[in-house]
Structure 1
Amino acid sequence: MTRSARRTRRTGRTLRVAGAGAAALLALSACSSSDSDSSATSDASAGSDSSASSSQQVSGTVTVFAAASLKESFTTLGKEFEKAHPDTKVTFSFGGSDTLAASINGGAPADVFAAASPKTMALVTDEKNTTGTPATFVRNQLEIATLPGNPDKISSLKDLTKSGIKVVLCDKTVPCGAAAQTALEAGDLKLTPVSYEQDVKSALTKVELKEADAAVVYQTDVKAAGDKVEGVEFPESSEAINDYPIAQLKDARNADAAKAFIELVKSAEGQKVLTAAGFLQP
């Protein structure tokens, strides 16, 4: 074979290899383009779904049963919730946690329950009237509320046992009352109040109206009362700190709004409102 013929054959082989390579590159390019288009379509679809989800707003009325000590902070959060979800309305029922629990178990219509102790939440969970596991969202500590200026010079829990001092406690079945009993036991003290009240706000009101000289309430209630009372801290209160759990109720009529409200309570924004009111971080 001549050098010219060999060159001709080599040139032919080179062209065939180059042609095959080009074909392969075109195939790969087509696959890549197809995958890219598919991925782009998938991403666009996902983005559309995400956008639809984020734009979906809850609506309707959400009914919240909450411990009396949550009144000020939850009222604020209710307004924030309605502002974030213009088509909603938050209604509250505040009171003693044990009374609220009994109402829920009795069939009272509610979407969310926020109790002042795990024990009172258990009254509802034991009846399987909640959805999921209740979450602790804040804690609270006791404080003595005295008349403005503290005319009786009360400086300790023991001072409440002095003759002539009219003291009000929450009922022992209410979380603030149970906590007060725990604190008294921690100090080895016995106290006979002039009355037992059904919730912490009622106990505080007795002092605000000067119908009592002092009441054992939560520090959040003392703070909310402003200059109507004076607060006195006492070391035994550290033995009786209450966890506050919150849960969606099984028969919630507005489950979506209930979930959204609970998320607000647990969020950084919700925690900011609660800690400003004097609640402790969970």
Structure 2
Amino acid sequence: MTRSARRTRRTLQAAGVGAVALLTLSACSSSDDSSSSGSDSSASASSSPKLSGTVTVFAAASLKESFTALGKAFEEAHPGAKVTFNFGGSDTLAASITGGAPADVFASASPKTMKIVTDAGGASGTPATFVRNQLEIATLPGNPDKVASLRDLTKSGLKVVLCDKTVPCGAAAQKALDASGLKLTPVSYEEDVKAALNKVVLKEADAAVVYKTDVKAAGDKVEGVDFPESAGAVNDYPITLLKDSENADTAKAFIALVQSAEGQKVLTEAGFLKP
């Protein structure tokens, strides 16, 4: 394991332990505020020591490392509960939910893909933005092609991969390219950000436009290159309880953990931006 990977692992583990401590402490306390808001209600749900059963979370692929760590912390704090995940492209996940796939929570990488679910009446309440994410160019280790800008990706002979335009990372990349007046023909469009990054990791592509969080999670398998146009294509990530959830109390508790100080610590340490 590389030094960078070890640091990332330690950070997630430490934050996960902190999340467990937060939830355990909450379980031993009670609220004296009778005028709690909706978010306070969610937080109180997370403090219940009786939470149990399985919570199925459909989440954007870029959340895989962070949500996996939070899921483990949640299960340790609530031994009777289990969190299962379905990670993938947000558009595919939204289509599955509206098609009747059983799920309790949806965390999308863009408001547009979340709207697919809300327009179909699949959300319980109003989705809340919990983090944001910014694009970065992933190159081969050492950046042998000397990619220093978004324009460099248009060089002849350079094999570049993008996320499909229907998924948030692809839509954001296209927005940045359009704003720059650049035309880029990738060697492939991938179904989600992890698939796009993996093309570079496997050396099947020279570069990919992905999220900063994915570059960070990959450690020394890729090298990240910032580009200023990414500031105009930042994605908001909304999360919601789903209307057909069969385990709403436990699902609300998981959402509360994601939105808590400890949950936000895990996410920001992974490279996400605060909402």
Q: TM-score, normalised by structure 1?
A: 0.81
Name the residue aligned to 2:87.
94
Provide the secondary structure at the position in 2 that maps to 1:153: coil
| C-alpha deviation, 1:57, in angstroms | 2.0
Name the residue aligned to 2:191.
198
| C-alpha deviation, 1:186, in angstroms | 1.4
Find runs of 4+ consecutive structure 1 residues off by over 3 angstroms: 53-56
1:238 correspondence with 2:238? no
Measured in 2, the distance between the counterparts of 1:262 and 1:112 equals 8
In the superposition, relative to structure 1, how do residues 87 and 102 fare at CA in structure 2: closer, same or farther (>3 Å)? same
| C-alpha deviation, 1:135, in angstroms | 0.3
1:64 correspondence with 2:57? yes
Measured in 1, the distance between the counterparts of 2:214 and 2:197 equals 8
The 5 Å alignment of 1:219-258 reads 219-258=212-251
Name the residue aligned to 2:100.
107
In the superposition, relative to structure 1, how do residues 191 and 112 fare at CA in structure 2: closer, same or farther (>3 Å)? same
| C-alpha deviation, 1:56, in angstroms | 3.7
1:151 correspondence with 2:157? no
| C-alpha deviation, 1:55, in angstroms | 5.3
Structure 2: state its 5+ residue gaps. 1-30, 33-44
Name the residue aligned to 1:10.
none
1:215 correspondence with 2:203? no
Find the partner of 1:128 among 114, 121, 138: 121
In the superposition, relative to structure 1, how do residues 251 and 55 fare at CA in structure 2: closer, same or farther (>3 Å)? closer
Larger RCO (CA under 8 A, 6+ residues apart) = 2
Greater radius of gyration (CA): 1
What is the identity percentage for the equivalent residue pairs of Structure 1 and Structure 2?
80
Provide the secondary structure at the position in 2 that maps to 1:145: strand
Residue type at the aligned position of 2:86: S
How many residues were matched structurally? 233
Provide the secondary structure at the position in 2 that maps to 1:138: strand
Provide the secondary structure at the position in 1 that maps to 2:124: strand
Higher helix share: 1
1:72-114 superposed Cα distances (whole Å, 9 cap, x missing partner): 0000000010011110110000000000000000000000000
Provide the secondary structure at the position in 1 that maps to 2:128: strand
Over the aligned positions, Cα root-mean-square deviation in angstroms equals 1.4
Name the residue aligned to 2:66.
73
Name the residue aligned to 1:278.
271
Q: TM-score, normalised by structure 2?
A: 0.83
